[in-house]
């Protein structure tokens, strides 16, 4: 008995799908993308038919429509995809009185299909790294301190009454030496009636 085709073709042609491989989804560049940029990338891959890489056309207005936003938001998502190395511009947009030609892109994860150019997939997004700021996140400020109440004995100080309460500032451990007006030791002198005779 002949086996039935478990995946029949749709009426009118073959089935189409967008494929996102796990290794791409696991890259730091993909995880860092905004939700809008990810949607636009799916739209670009939807327009990729396996033999038109480098000639994929998508305008900023079309990108905005794909995410239900303005063309400004669509343009920002396209720039974000370029900055993260997922797409590259192969032909800039142009406009004249008769026709408006949208910008054309190449998916860096796939081979370039344009004639006369290298077909190798550059996969620029695998080289992307998050920007490193000049300031360290572990730096502490002079005011970022822990306040402790210290009780000193009369024998250890000659100018403070016995069992008086001193307000001291304990600085946090930091390899960076910093000074600040807040880095001080303050004490509350005893009342005049309890002071020792000088």
**Tens digits of residue pLDDT in 152-166:** 454 454 444 444 444
pLDDT bin (cut points 50, 70, 90) of residue 151 is very low
Of 81, 64, 67, 89, the C-alpha closest to 30 is 81
Q: pLDDT, tens digit, for every residue of 43-60?
A: 999 999 999 999 999 999
Q: 77 φ, ψ to 5°?
A: -65, -40
More confident residue, 32 or 1: 32
Is the predicted pLDDT of residue 193 greater than 60, yes or no?
A: no
| Per-residue model confidence (pLDDT) at position 139 | 52
Rounded to an integer, the average pLDDT of 116-138 is 82
């Amino acid at each position: 008995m002949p086996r039935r085709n478990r995946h029949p073709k749709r009426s009118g042609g073959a089935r189409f799908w967008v494929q996102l491989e796990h290794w791409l989804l696991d890259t730091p560049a993909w995880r860092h993308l905004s939700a809008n940029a990810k949607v636009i990338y799916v739209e670009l891959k939807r327009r990729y038919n396996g033999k038109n890489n480098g000639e994929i056309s998508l305008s900023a207005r079309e990108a905005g429509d794909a995410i239900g936003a303005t063309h400004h938001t669509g343009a920002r998502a396209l720039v974000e995809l370029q900055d993260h190395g997922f797409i590259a511009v192969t032909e800039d947009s142009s406009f004249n009185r008769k026709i408006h030609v949208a910008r054309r892109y190449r998916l860096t994860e796939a081979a370039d299909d344009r004639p006369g150019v290298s077909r190798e997939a550059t996969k620029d997004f695998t080289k992307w790294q998050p920007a490193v700021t000049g300031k360290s996140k572990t730096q502490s400020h002079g005011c970022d301190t822990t306040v402790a109440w210290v009780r000193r004995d009369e024998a250890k100080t000659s100018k403070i009454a016995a069992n008086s309460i001193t307000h001291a500032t304990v600085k946090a451990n930091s390899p960076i030496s910093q000074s600040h007006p807040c880095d001080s030791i303050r004490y509350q002198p005893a009342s005049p009636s309890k002071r020792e005779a000088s």
